[in-house]
Amino acid sequence: MCMRVALKFAYDGKTFSGYARQPGQRTIEQVLLNVLIEQGMFQDVKIACFRTASRTDRGVSALGNVCAFDTTVSYDAIIALLKNDASEVFLYGTKEVEPGFYPRHAIRREYRYYLQNNGIDIEKLLCAAGLFTGEHNFQNFARVEPLKNPVRTIDAIVISERKDFLILDFSAQTFLWNQIRRIVSALKKVGTGILSIEEIRQGLDHPEKKVDFQVAASEPLLLKDVVYDFSFNYVKEYKKKLLKFEKSIVSSL
H or E segment and range at residue 3: strand 3-11
Closest listed residue to residue 241, CA positions, set 229, 249, 233: 249
Distances (CA, A) of 15 to 31, 88, 89, 112, 219: 12, 9, 11, 19, 10
Residue ranges of the chain assigned to CATH 3.30.70.660: 108-205
Does 43 score more than 70 pLDDT? yes
What is the per-residue pLDDT for 186? Answer: 97
Ramachandran angles phi, psi of 169, nearest 5°: -105, 120
CATH class for the region spanning 3-105+229-251: alpha beta
57 is catalytic: yes
Query: In this predicted model, which residue has the larger pLDDT, 88 or 7?
Result: 7
Q: Which CATH number fits domain 108-205: 1.10.510.10, 3.30.70.660, 3.40.50.880, 3.30.1490.20?
A: 3.30.70.660
Distance CA(242)–CA(240), nearest Å, equals 5
Does 65 score more than 80 pLDDT? yes
H or E segment and range at residue 114: strand 108-116
The residue from 12, 44, 57, 169 that is catalytic is 57
What is the per-residue pLDDT for 233? Answer: 94
Query: For the residues 48-65, what does the mean pLDDT come to?
Result: 95
Does 21 score more than 90 pLDDT? no
Cβ neighbour number for residue 89 with a 10 Å cutoff: 23
What confidence tier does 86 reach under pLDDT thresholds 50, 70, 90? low
Residues in the chain: 253
Do residues 9 and 89 make contact, with C-beta atoms less than 8 angstroms apart?
Answer: yes
Distance CA(137)–CA(203), nearest Å, equals 9
Report the Cα–Cα distance between both ends of the chain, in Å, rounded. Answer: 46
Query: For the residues 7-16, what does the mean pLDDT come to?
Result: 94
Residue ranges of the chain assigned to CATH 3.30.70.580: 3-105+229-251
What confidence tier does 8 reach under pLDDT thresholds 50, 70, 90? very high
